[in-house]
Amino acid sequence: MLCGRTTPVLQVTTLERRALRLRACALRAEDVRRARVILMLAEGRPYPAIQVAVGCDARYVSWWRRRFAEAGLAGLYSRHPRRAVQRRTL
Residue 9 φ then ψ, to 5°: -65, 135
For residue 2, the cross-strand partners are 5
pTM, rounded to two decimals: 0.69
Nearest-angstrom CA–CA distance, 6 and 51: 15
Alpha helices in 27-76 (DSSP H): 29-42, 47-54, 58-71
**15-74 tens-digit pLDDT:** 888 887 776 666 678 888 898 999 999 999 999 999 999 999 999 999 999 999 998 888
Nearest-angstrom CA–CA distance, 15 and 12: 8
- For 78, residues 6+ apart whose C-beta sits below 8 A from its C-beta are 30
